[in-house]
Amino acid sequence: MSNRKPNRLLMLAIRAVLLCTLALPALAAQFTSIDFPGAASTEVYGVNDAGTMVGVYVDASNVTHGFLLENGTFTTVDYPGATLSVAAGINNKGQIVGQYNDADGFGHGFLLKNGNFKQLDFSPYQTYPTAIGDAGEIVGFCVDAQFAYHGCIRAGGVFSLLDVPGSQATVAIGINFSQGKVVGGYGTTDGFSFQHGFIYKKGQFTQVDYPGAAATVVFGIDDQSRLVGNFSLPNSKKTHGFVKNSGGFVKRDFPAARSTFPINLNNHKTVVGWYVDQGKLIHGYVMHGGI
């Protein structure tokens, strides 16, 4: 059995992302750090149109928990009996999807709906849901016995693979609330690295590459098809965030951060994610405007 933590598997996918940037007019952006009280680290993964956020924090004992942040109040979201939990996505109905590890260290998905947890598994894979649309479609990634990444989608209560044709590794990370458009990344070199982003809709994959990038992954999409994701320059280990609207790509980094990871956005141009500060501590953040 694998003892890899679900949020660390997600981070392996995220930290494999590299990209470049264009010089476009900057829009006003306001950044705010999000830290679970007393936590050693915090990462925000999802936000709905009401501004309710979900994510993950690591406590002082190095235990990983999911959280909900609603109207300024934090609530821990832990799957019953799990050794760790991650709250990864939330829709406008308040339904939350995420991931947990069982006592054997095997990764499972979950849906939290009306206060009740439901286990989500796509056998024989370890299953890691990352986002949920308002119609209940769930996207994420699953990991096989060789630790290769595959995209997956759950529609009508049934899981299926969502791998880009010809890829060796795929992760589906985001879905918009009302249109069923899915975004993520894929690679062609091995089972765990990613060179290109994608948008998927109705059986059609559209490749998304930031001009001049070493690699691209898209993490979030709203109902106006605005995108958020990551990049770094070729031969650079520093990871930057980007937003993309009808005018093109714009770099968006948390001020003075070592690395920035925008993970999701809602239909009011609110972006959430996490960043690494100069002391190498991890914080969640929210960005208003700037897209």
pLDDT bucket at 142, cuts 50 / 70 / 90: very high
Alpha-carbon span 163 to 171, nearest angstrom: 8
pLDDT reading at 228 higher than 50 = yes
pLDDT for 27: 62
pTM of the model: 0.90
pLDDT reading at 2 higher than 90 = no
Of the two residues 3 and 88, the one the predictor is more confident about is 88
Domains and CATH numbers, the chain: 6-289 (2.120.10.30)
pLDDT reading at 9 higher than 60 = no
Write the Ramachandran bin of 62: left for phi over 0, alpha for psi from -120 to 50, otherwise beta: left
Task: Report the mean per-residue pLDDT for the chain.
Answer: 91
pLDDT for 7: 52
pLDDT reading at 12 higher than 50 = no
pLDDT for 10: 53
pLDDT bucket at 50, cuts 50 / 70 / 90: very high
Digit-coded pLDDT (tens) for 62-74? 999 999 999 999 9
pLDDT for 105: 94
Alpha-carbon span 113 to 237, nearest angstrom: 39
Digit-coded pLDDT (tens) for 34-45? 999 999 999 999
What DSSP state is assigned to residue 168? S
